[in-house]
Amino acid sequence: MGEETLSNTEKQVLLALNEHGGRATPEEVMQTTDLEMVKVMNASSWLQSKGLVTMHEELRSHYQITGEGKRFLSRGLPEENVLQLVLDGVADFASLQKKTDDLGIAVGWLRRKGWCDIQRRDGEKALVPTEDGEKALASPLPEKAVLQAVSQGREVPDEQVLRELVQRGAVEEKECIVRTIMLTERGREAAAAGLEITDEIVQLTPQLIRSGEWRKKEFRPYDVRAFAPAAFPGKRHPLMQLVERIRRIFVEMGFTEITGGFVESCFWDMDVLFIPQDHPARDMQDTFYCSHPASMEVDKKLLRTIARVHENGGDTGSQGWGYTFSPREAERVLLRTHTTVNTIRYLAHNPEPPAKIFSIGKVFRKENIDSTHLPEFYQVEGIVYEEDADFGELIGILHQFYAKMGFRELRFRPSYYPYTEPSMDVEARWQGKWMELGGSGIFRPEVTEPLGIQHPVLAWGLGLERMALNMLDVQDIRELYLSDIQWLQRQPLL
Ligand code: PHE
């Protein structure tokens, strides 16, 4: 390890440890180096991460004198004081009471220690010293020796007395962490090789610049290889970061965002999009229908127009699907199965061109959960509505979008949606196979004409989670929703 990778404080700590024979407490290092505690601890953990020291922590309990203990030392123990009074001739309770606050406690201890008996004289209670009591105060009380030892952090001479003092609240047991910093073999070598403490500038301050002081000093060079601890600050969920990035890309490309609700009518989710009412996607197996409420009112006029388009094409020039449209089916309530519902409603309400609109939101389908399917997932939806919009432009937009998202290997395939013609799917290379990312196309006249839309509408609906698989290098789409904290911490900022 080159010397340039050690800061001055680190060097000081290494040298201090060396002076202490290779191991010391932070307090000792503090005294030797004249550094503040935080600096010592900071430097030590850096040294530890560089393999030059190790740090140990040990939980130790120790005894501490309490306020009561200190009073015992300065004013004597209650039994000591009362015994003194008794020996001095003040023996009856009434007189003793006047001279002491804690006569009860004192009497208790005097009897327990066998220093006094209680006798009645002339109907009055009085204390009479025993033989032991007569001698008890000839030498200092063992309690005081123990209290002194505790308060000076010395070894306690009598464990039994110590326990008693703990019970009496004069001493308490405290736990503390004792830290030791030790030089490793490499630390020893580094210290032995000698470390030069230079007067170097670690951080440039306005003072240093103003005073011109910086000219006379060395700057500590940056060490880009220096160890840095991993930091895990709070951040957004990777999927939400992805949403944010997609949002930025579309805004950059001149699009405006719209939103919508999760609960929709069949009418807006499917009928307006010319999805026949017997389409398999409408099946109970595929769509989540709501039962409260089970139906939802729909604009009657538009409903009639759309019914005719389904039945015979209405004024669109199409032959329609040739079945009898059910208004009741149209009014059923469901959880939106795609966000195309947002863009088509936008168009219905804003039939004047041009428009470049996008929407990012959750959709719901009764999918079996597996590594690439979820019953709830995000779609990235968009439309371009303008006079000369064409299929080439659609490919161009999707290409540009995915390129901005970092996708290299893409392919576009002919596909089918009841509401677009032509239709196209986007696929990306994932784990050696092509994975479908989403659908797109140009809305059919059966969709646009009843809404008063005169120009081509390019439309697409892309899966977010599948994009995430690629970008976050995740094997299984379910991992995105596991909330595995370690996985989340490791995710880069996108
Ligand atoms: N709505 C289609 C889906 O859910 C995607 C799509 C959107 C296809 C717009 C064509 C046009 O997969």
User: Concatenated DSSP letters for 310-345?
Assistant: HHH-TTTTS----S---HHHHTBEEE-S-THHHHHH
Dist. CA 481 → ligand 1 center (Å): 24
Q: Is it true that the peptide bond before 276 is cis, omega within 30 degrees of 0? A: no
Q: What percent of the chain has pLDDT over 90?
A: 77
According to DSSP, residue 101 is labeled: S
* CATH fourth-level superfamily of 241-262+336-489: Bira Bifunctional Protein; Domain 2 (3.30.930.10)
Dist. CA 439 → ligand 1 center (Å): 5
Q: Which atom of ligand 1 is nearest to the CA of 440?
A: 10
What distances in angstroms separate CA 301 from CA 212, 213, 259, 308, 450, one per listed residue?
Answer: 82, 83, 25, 11, 11
> What number is the average pLDDT over the span 315-334?
97
Q: Which of 412, 417, 435, 447 to mutate to test the pocket of ligand 1 (most atoms within 8 A of CB)?
A: 417
**Cβ 358 under 6 angstroms from ligand 1:** no
CATH 1.10.10.10 fits 67-169, yes or no: yes
pLDDT beyond 70 at 3: no
Q: Is 225 helix (H, G, I), strand (E, B) or coil?
A: coil
pLDDT beyond 50 at 278: yes
Dist. CA 425 → ligand 1 center (Å): 9
Give the range among 180-194, 228-242, 303-317, 450-464 with minimum mean pLDDT.
228-242
pLDDT attached to residue 2: 47
| Residue 54 vs residue 203, higher pLDDT | 54
**Cβ 338 under 6 angstroms from ligand 1:** yes
Burial class (CB in 10 A: 0-12, 13-18, 19+), 98: exposed
Dist. CA 245 → ligand 1 center (Å): 21
**Cβ 320 under 6 angstroms from ligand 1:** no
Dist. CA 418 → ligand 1 center (Å): 10
pLDDT beyond 90 at 266: yes
Q: Which atom of ligand 1 is nearest to the CA of 463?
A: 12
Q: Which of 400, 384, 381, 437 is nearest to 258 (CA)?
A: 381
Taking the CA atoms of 446, 451, 452 and 458 in sequence, report the sign of the dihedral they define. Answer: negative
Q: Which of 338, 342, 367 to mutate to test the pocket of ligand 1 (most atoms within 8 A of CB)?
A: 338
CB 132 within 8 Å of CB 150: no
Nearest alpha carbon, ligand 1 atom 12: 439
Dist. CA 381 → ligand 1 center (Å): 8
pLDDT beyond 80 at 4: no
Nearest alpha carbon, ligand 1 atom 9: 460
pLDDT (tens digit, 9 = 90+) per residue, 63-82? 999 999 999 999 999 999 99
Q: Which atom of ligand 1 is nearest to the CA of 340?
A: 1
pLDDT (tens digit, 9 = 90+) per residue, 450-472? 999 999 999 999 999 999 998 88
Dist. CA 455 → ligand 1 center (Å): 19
pLDDT (tens digit, 9 = 90+) per residue, 38-51? 999 999 998 998 89
Domain locations along the chain: 3-59+176-219, 67-169, 241-262+336-489
pLDDT beyond 90 at 283: no
How far, in Å, CA of 421 to CA of 448, rounded? 12
Q: Which of 460, 465, 466 to mutate to test the pocket of ligand 1 (most atoms within 8 A of CB)?
A: 460
Nearest alpha carbon, ligand 1 atom 4: 338
Q: Which atom of ligand 1 is nearest to the CA of 363?
A: 4
Q: Which of 269, 340, 384, 443 to mutate to test the pocket of ligand 1 (most atoms within 8 A of CB)?
A: 340
**Cβ 440 under 6 angstroms from ligand 1:** yes
Q: Is it true that the peptide bond before 418 is cis, omega within 30 degrees of 0? A: no
Dist. CA 438 → ligand 1 center (Å): 7
pLDDT beyond 60 at 317: yes
Residue 1 pLDDT grade (very low, low, confident, very high; cuts 50, 70, 90): very low
According to DSSP, residue 272 is labeled: G
CATH number for 3-59+176-219: choose from 3.40.50.720, 1.10.10.10, 3.40.50.300, 2.40.50.140. 1.10.10.10
Q: Say yes or no: do domains 3-59+176-219 and 241-262+336-489 share a fold.
A: no
Averaged pLDDT of the chain: 92
**Cβ 66 under 6 angstroms from ligand 1:** no
pLDDT attached to residue 323: 97
pLDDT attached to residue 226: 62
> What number is the average pLDDT over the span 225-252?
88
Nearest alpha carbon, ligand 1 atom 10: 440
Dist. CA 137 → ligand 1 center (Å): 100
* Spatial CB neighbours of 330, under 8 Å, sequence gap ≥ 6: 265, 266, 267, 271, 277, 298, 303, 306, 307
- What's the length of the chain? 494
Q: Which of 307, 305, 333 is nearest to 322 (CA)?
A: 307
CB 324 within 8 Å of CB 285: no
How far, in Å, CA of 231 to CA of 490, rounded? 10
Taking the CA atoms of 10, 16, 17 and 22 in sequence, report the sign of the dihedral they define. Answer: positive
pLDDT attached to residue 405: 93
pLDDT (tens digit, 9 = 90+) per residue, 467-478? 999 888 888 999
pLDDT (tens digit, 9 = 90+) per residue, 79-135? 999 999 999 999 899 899 999 888 999 999 999 999 999 998 878 889 999 999 999
Dist. CA 412 → ligand 1 center (Å): 14
pLDDT attached to residue 149: 94
How far, in Å, CA of 7 to CA of 50, rounded? 12
CB 378 within 8 Å of CB 336: no
How far, in Å, CA of 20 to CA of 33, rounded? 12
**Cβ 343 under 6 angstroms from ligand 1:** no
